[in-house]
């Protein structure tokens, strides 16, 4: 790392230039969306140093002024669920493909809304004197672990030019910063006795500016190896794509996403599970409190078993055609083993209560696609989850006994739904799906993406 800190100081001192370019772009949505290619215009602003020297490692920023495609009219993209990556091409005195990446950070994006993408950054080490031009190229938008790939459909103009000059002597940039770097790395790697020896014998400049012992002291050396037990209490999970196959009268299939977040609470973890919004439409007017979700969380890795999380019922009444969003589901994970435990979304259950005092309708939805959302370093707790493979699913299977009888006999004409004593609910089999007749209203859930 020759002159690392000096190079960064050098880049900071150089005036930055920013230029905007636009180009025709074709974006290919993920196959699962059922959508065709989208043509649009990408507008990008590239910020880079105006001048630099051979040997400098510079940082470049790619800012999306406008993405080529909007969010399809299928689903609301929740906050911090979209991540951009891309390629910036260097040409002229030096040729390179610079990998650009932005954080998974965005506001909530409504259906049909403009894609709001985070700024991407990338680094390149300059090797040749002369003019180096920077031109934006293809980029990828990742949401719910699926990719929308966008490529230019015309020659893209250069967005920035860096004037690179030959390095003058190297000693200027390497000076004090090199010694500072050496003392820090020496202190961290060795600590204690040897740290003092290296920093003392290595350089005088390093010694005079907070060199060895104090900075290298054991504070930082232990934290990195403790892996999550260093005082961290909040653990953010990764948003993963999920699919569910539901029994009637639920939709045949729900394509969604789920994120499992955890907060340490003693030796246990309080879990919050967030799912995508607007994944299906309300088939009829539904009162507040009509829909209540729960989900099984599958525990893997060094631990094993499952647990149940539950969400609140819908707070507001729904009109026919309103998008249905499930509330955040919460529960507690108590580890049953030491080591690394993984948490994945599992089977989903939606309980529908059409009116006060009516029998609830339980819609079980089996997870057909899932992935690990969160990994935790855990310590075994008394009465932990390990081996309890039915701890989450037992209660939901019990409550779904009414609807399972309905689905098993729905191939013919009329089938009981568990409300025969009152004669209020009857199920009628259709080729396209199953409807529940409540008075004169037809009650059928449909996947949101199939509704226009």
pLDDT digits (tens, 9 = 90+) for 216-245: 333 333 333 333 456 789 999 999 999 999
Residue 47: both structure tokens together = 């910020």
Question: Residue 386's pLDDT is what?
Answer: 66
Average pLDDT over residues 333-360: 90
Local confidence band at 354 (pLDDT 50, 70, 90 cut-offs): confident
pLDDT at 427 over 80: no
- If one compares 425 and 167, the residue with the highest pLDDT of the two is 167
pLDDT of residue 345: 97
- For residue 285, what pLDDT is reported? 76
- Predicted confidence band of residue 387 (pLDDT cuts 50, 70, 90): low
Of all residues in the chain, what percent carry a pLDDT higher than 90? Answer: 47
Give residue 282's pLDDT: 78
Q: Are strands 51-53 and 120-125 parallel, antiparallel or unpaired?
A: unpaired
HSE of 441 in the Cβ direction (CA atoms, 13 Å)? 13
pLDDT confidence of residue 220? 35
> Confidence band (pLDDT; 50, 70, 90) for 353?
confident
Task: Return mean pLDDT, the chain.
Answer: 74
| pLDDT at residue 33 in the model | 66
pLDDT score, position 416: 27
**What's the pLDDT at 195?**
38
- Whether 97 shows a pLDDT value over 80: the answer reads yes
- Of 147, 349, 383, 129, residue with least CA distance to 246: 349
- The whole-number average pLDDT for the span 163-186 is 52
Question: What is the pLDDT at residue 215?
Answer: 38
Contact 64, 39 (CB under 8 A): no
pLDDT band for position 248 (50/70/90)? confident
- The residue to which tokens 């990556």 are assigned: 85
Nearest to 166 by CA among 51, 54, 256: 54
pLDDT at 410 over 60: no
Res 77: pLDDT? 86
Indicate the pLDDT class of residue 440, thresholds 50, 70 and 90. Answer: very low
413: exposed, middle or buried (Cβ count in 10 Å: 0-12, 13-18, 19+): exposed
Interatomic CA distance for residues 333 and 301, integer angstroms: 14
The answer to whether residue 378 scores a pLDDT higher than 70 is: yes
Name the one residue in this structure whose structure tokens are 């569910």: 244
What's the pLDDT band for 16 if we cut at 50, 70, 90?
Answer: low
Please tell me the distance from the alpha carbon of residue 301 to that of residue 386, in angstroms, as a whole number: 11
pLDDT band for position 15 (cuts 50, 70, 90)? low
What integer pLDDT is reported at residue 268 of this predicted model? 95
User: Residue 271 pLDDT more than 60?
Assistant: yes
Percent of the chain at pLDDT exceeding 70: 66
Least confident span in 146-160, 260-274, 344-358: 344-358
Q: What average pLDDT does range 36-48 have in this prediction?
A: 93
Lowest mean pLDDT among 38-42, 47-51, 199-203: 199-203
Q: Which of 25-29, 39-43, 118-122, 358-362 has the lowest mean pLDDT?
A: 358-362
């Amino acid at each position: 790392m020759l002159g690392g800190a000096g190079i960064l100081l050098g880049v900071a001192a150089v005036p930055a230039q920013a230029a905007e370019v636009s180009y025709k772009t074709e974006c290919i949505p993920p196959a699962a969306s059922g959508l065709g290619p989208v043509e649009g215009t990408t507008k990008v602003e590239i910020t880079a140093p105006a001048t630099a020297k051979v040997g400098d490692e510079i940082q470049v920023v790619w800012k999306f002024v406008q993405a080529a495609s909007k969010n399809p009219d299928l689903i609301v993209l929740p906050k911090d669920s979209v991540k951009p990556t891309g390629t910036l091409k260097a040409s002229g005195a030096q040729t390179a493909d610079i990998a650009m990446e932005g954080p998974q950070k965005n506001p909530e994006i409504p259906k049909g809304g403009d894609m709001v993408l985070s700024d991407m950054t990338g680094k390149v080490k300059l090797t040749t004197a002369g003019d180096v031009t920077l031109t934006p190229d293809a980029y990828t938008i990742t949401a719910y672990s699926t990719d929308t790939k966008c490529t230019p459909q015309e020659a893209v103009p250069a967005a920035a030019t860096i004037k690179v000059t030959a390095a003058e002597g190297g000693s200027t940039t390497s000076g004090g910063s090199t010694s500072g770097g050496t003392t820090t790395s020496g202190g961290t790697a060795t600590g204690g006795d040897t740290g003092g020896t290296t920093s003392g014998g290595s350089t005088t400049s390093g010694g005079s500016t907070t060199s060895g012992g104090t900075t290298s002291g054991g504070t930082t050396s232990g934290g990195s190896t403790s892996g999550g037990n260093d005082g961290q209490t909040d653990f953010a999970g990764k948003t993963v794509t999920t699919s569910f196959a539901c029994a009637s009268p639920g939709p045949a299939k729900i394509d969604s996403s789920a994120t499992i977040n955890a907060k340490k609470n003693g030796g246990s973890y309080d879990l919050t599970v967030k799912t995508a919004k607007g994944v299906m439409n309300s088939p009829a007017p539904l009162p507040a409190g009509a829909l209540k979700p729960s989900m099984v969380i599958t525990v893997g890795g060094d631990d094993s078993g499952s647990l149940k999380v539950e969400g609140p019922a819908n707070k507001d009444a729904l009109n026919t055609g309103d998008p249905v969003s499930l509330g955040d589901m919460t529960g507690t994970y108590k580890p049953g083993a030491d080591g690394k435990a993984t948490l994945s979304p599992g089977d989903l259950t939606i309980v529908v209560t059409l009116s006060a005092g009516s029998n609830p309708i339980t819609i079980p939805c089996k997870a057909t696609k899932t992935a690990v959302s969160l990994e935790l370093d855990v310590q075994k707790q008394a009465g932990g989850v390990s081996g309890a493979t039915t701890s989450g699913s037992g209660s939901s299977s019990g409550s779904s006994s009414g609807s399972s009888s309905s689905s098993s006999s729905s191939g013919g004409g009329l089938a009981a739904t568990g409300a025969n004593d009152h004669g209020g609910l009857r199920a009628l089999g259709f080729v396209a799906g199953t409807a529940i007749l409540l008075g004169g209203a037809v009650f059928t859930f449909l996947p949101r993406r199939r509704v226009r």
